[in-house]
Amino acid sequence: MSREGETMTQPRTAQCRGTARRLRSFLLTPHSLLLTLLLLAGCGPKPGTSAKSDEPKPVPVTVAASKAQTLRRTVPVSGTLYPYEDVMLAPKVGGKVVRALRDVGDRVAPGELLLEIDPTEYRIAVEHARPAYTAELRRLKLADVSITDAAFEKHLDKLDAVVEARANFALARSEQARIAEGVKNGAESRQALDSAVNRLAVAEARVELALTDARVLLSNARRLKAALDDAERRLADTELRAPVPPEWNDWLKLVGPTTTPFKYAVADKRVSAGSPVEAMPVTNCYRLVIDHALKFRAAVPERYAPEVTVGQQVEIVVDAHANKTFAGVVARINPTTDVTNRSFGVVIGVRNGDGKLKAGGFATAEIVVGSESVVTVPPEALVQFAGVNKVFVVNGDAAKVVEVTIGTRDKDWIEVGGLPAGAKVITSGHSQLVDGAPIRVR
């Protein structure tokens, strides 16, 4: 019974109790009995008072509609940004550094000169090697030794020594034929014929010797050319230059063009003018990195293996630019799983033409693996108790409990499962609600 009903009935109850005490002092005569019954009948509660006090009042609530929206599915990862290429340069020859042209932070194009070593002794070696090679070419009547062996065999008849030997052979053969004819006619002696035959054999041998000498000359010329090439290479190696990466164009096809021309960045310089350097053991001089494009290496839990594929888009965030998202793409996937942490490695290509990202920095990222339509509700609509997630929905004039599963969270919404889109969910007044409780929408 409500407190209002109690207030209304208290005076009447007290009156009835007093009347009952007075009646006990009278004899129960017929007239007094009738009077008693009439008085007691007026002491009961008013009709309808108990029924009204038992009805619960509607709970005032606010509501919002659940919404369907397309939600991207992503795999969160974290890792380190590495340069596309990291190169430590060392000279191939030893000597004293004459000039060191670049320093940390400079940008250098492929093939650009970084450092020069004193070339004096290497230039002298070239000057000694070139005349010997040139002299052999003149004897061979060749411009260079790139001729093939088959072509050189045809070229042999142009060599002076071979021409002379073949001429002597032809003369000896002619003389031998003439003397042989004279022996038949009795004009020449047998001894003269024997001498002619010997001279022919000698002439033939000299032809073969001339041919062999020419082939040896070609071999020696090739050796001298190799020595000259080596001397020239060592002279060229006194200049340390930035390398040219052969696979750079292939990488650009994957990550897209950069906004600036390709250049290396000097990350470290270890020598100065006057410093001695050695080829063995090597003296590291410069460290160059390619940071127009970076390689973001991260570990992905193995449960996401079926979802992560090459070519998927990646959104990357670094602390230095917390309000900016950098685009990347999955470039490589490790085919094996690390047994220590049950994850597999991925390499994500990141464009960095503007140079805002620093190689070696830490980054977090989300690999976009797909999208799907989901139902969301405002965060204040979710009720969590004893491990159960539920919402109250409007069911006519009452509240109805619906258990839900929760997924992705955002500051303005929560993904829920088990609830259709368009349902009116209660966003306030939960503490006074139970399943079936009457409600009044404010």
| Alpha carbon distances (Å) from 123 to 48, 117, 233, 420 | 123, 12, 10, 84
Question: In this structure, what token pair is assigned to residue 364?
Answer: 């977090």
What is the Cα–Cα distance from 206 to 85, expressed in whole angstroms?
62
pLDDT of 19 > 70? The answer is no
Question: In this structure, what token pair is assigned to residue 75?
Answer: 């795999």
**49-58, 82-91, 217-226, 378-387: lowest mean pLDDT where?**
49-58
What is the Cα–Cα distance from 371 to 432, expressed in whole angstroms?
38
Q: Which residue has the higher pLDDT, 368 or 442?
A: 368
pLDDT of 290 > 80? The answer is yes
**Whether the model pTM is above 0.85:** no
Q: Where are the beta strands (DSSP E) in 193-285?
A: 239-241, 264-269, 276-277
Q: What digits encode the pLDDT tens for the residues 213-248?
A: 999 999 999 999 999 999 999 999 999 999 887 766
Specify the pLDDT at position 10.
Answer: 45
Angle formed at CA 156 by CA 150 and CA 160, multiple of 5 degrees: 165
Confidence of residue 7 (pLDDT cuts 50, 70, 90): very low
Specify the pLDDT at position 112.
Answer: 92
Q: What digits encode the pLDDT tens for the residues 80-134?
A: 999 988 999 999 999 999 999 999 999 998 889 999 999 999 999 999 999 999 9
- What is the DSSP code string of 8-50? HHHHHHHHHHHHHHHHTTS---HHHHHHHHHHHHTTSPPTTHH
Q: Classify burial at 314, counting beta carbons within 10 Å of its beta carbon; exposed 0-12, middle 13-18, buried 19 or more.
A: buried
Specify the pLDDT at position 34.
Answer: 47
For the chain, how big is the Rg over CA atoms in Å?
53
What is the Cα–Cα distance from 245 to 290, expressed in whole angstroms?
10
% of the chain at pLDDT higher than 90: 69
Return left, alpha or beta for 28; rule: phi > 0 is left, psi -120 to 50 is alpha, else beta: beta
Residue given tokens 């450092």 in the structure block: 115
Specify the pLDDT at position 374.
Answer: 92
Specify the pLDDT at position 282.
Answer: 92
DSSP helix, strand, coil percent of the chain (3-state; round to 5): 35, 35, 30
